[in-house]
Structures are given as structure tokens and as C-alpha cells.
Homo-oligomer: A and B are copies of this chain.
Amino acid sequence: MKTVEDKKTQIINAAVEVFAKQGLEKGKIADIAKVAGIGKGTIYEYFKSKDEIFGAIENMFIGDSVSQIDKLANSKKTPRKKLEEIVNYSLNMHGLMGDAAYIIAELWAQHSREQLQGHKESHFANMYSYFYDTVINILDEGIKANEFRKMDKNGIATLLLALIDGIIWQSVIFKGDMEFNLKIQAAIKSFMEGIKK
């Protein structure tokens, strides 16, 4: 039995596919409908507008990311393992979300523009602050457990988050380049070396 939520998900998935291929603005509602295998009008039974679809994708991405990071942060693993898994999750996200990275980039830009113009608060900024706090906690934990050396936690946390973003960002461009994946692994190792006791 299909619930409303199922249907929404079906549409969102089609939308992600279409927007990834054509871009947020060029992606047509008609195409989303075709991909979802439903009629154009049906989409409007579940979303008031194209903008609302944007919002839903954004929320899905943010929700998924937060819950995933949460799960990793609250696991029984060692701090070092936690950090590695957070980085790897982010790395894999591109694969997990399919081509969603393009979409996130555009939503991000769009959102930031609107935020700048005072239209709305940034969900992305909130997400960031949350991730930042989470990383700080793990670092603390690691220091107390004598696993990490004493460090400027703010600097390292910022470095780590920037690293993750940078990797995602670049992976958009170097998609499918095997050599790039090796470089990333090397980068992560170098980072972890830098903070270990």
C-alpha cells in the first residue's frame, strides 16, 4: 500500500535524477513526471510548486546527513574511528545520493543568495554548526582518551569540515577518476596522522 510519503519520495527521487542531469532551473516538471512515471498534474497533488520540491530535496539531504553523522558520532567506536567514518560517509555520500552533489551545490548557492538577501534563515548553516559541535565533541573525547594529542580544537574541527566539503566539491569534478580517490585516502591519512598522539 502506497502512502502519501511513499509517493512524495517517488517524486523526489525522480526530481533528483532530473535536476542532477539538467540543473535546478532547466529541469522541467514534465520530465520529473515522466521519470516518476506519473502525470504532470499529479506532482502538484504532492508539492505546491517547484520551489517546494527544491525544499524537500534540501531537507532530505540535510536530514539524511544529520541523522547519519549522529549515528556515527554516537556509536561505540573509538574517536579516531568515528572521525574516519564521518569522513568516509561524506565521501561516499556522493555515491549514496547518486548525482545529488550537483543539486546540493545549486541549492546551496540559491539558499545562500536568499539568505544574503534576508529571505530566510539558512538550514545549511544550522547543519554546519551542528556538525562542527559534533566534531569538537569527538576531538574532546579523543584527547581525554589519550588517543589524540592536545590541539587547537577549533582549528582542527574547521580544518576537518573544510576538508570534507572540499573533497565532495572536487569529487564532483573528478568523478570516476581512480587516481583522485587514492589522493583522497592519502589526504585523510595525513590528516589523521596530524592529530594522533
Contact = CB atoms under 8 A, between A and B. Distances in A.
Interface of A: 20-26, 99, 102, 105-106, 108-113, 115-117, 122, 124-125, 128, 151-152, 154-159, 161-167, 169-170, 172-175, 182-191, 194
Contacts of A110: 23
A172 B23 contact: no
A23 B170 contact: no
A115 B172 CA distance: 10
Contacts of A20: 113
Nearest to A155: B186
A23 B109 contact: yes
Q: How many protomers of this protein does the assembly include?
A: 4
17 contacts: A22-B113, A25-B25, A25-B26, A102-B109, A102-B112, A102-B113, A106-B109, A109-B172, A112-B172, A115-B173, A151-B190, A154-B182, A155-B188, A159-B163, A162-B162, A162-B164, A162-B166
Nearest to A164: B166
Given A25-B26, A158-B186, A190-B155, A109 B105 contact: yes
Contact of A155 (B25, B99, B174, B189): B189
CB-based closest 4 A-B pairs:
A162-B166, A155-B186, A25-B25, A155-B190
B175 A116 contact: yes
A105 B102 contact: no
A50 to B, nearest CB: 12
Nearest to A189: B155
Nearest to A105: B109
A165 B168 CA distance: 10
Contacts of A166: 161-167, 169
Contacts of A194: 190, 194
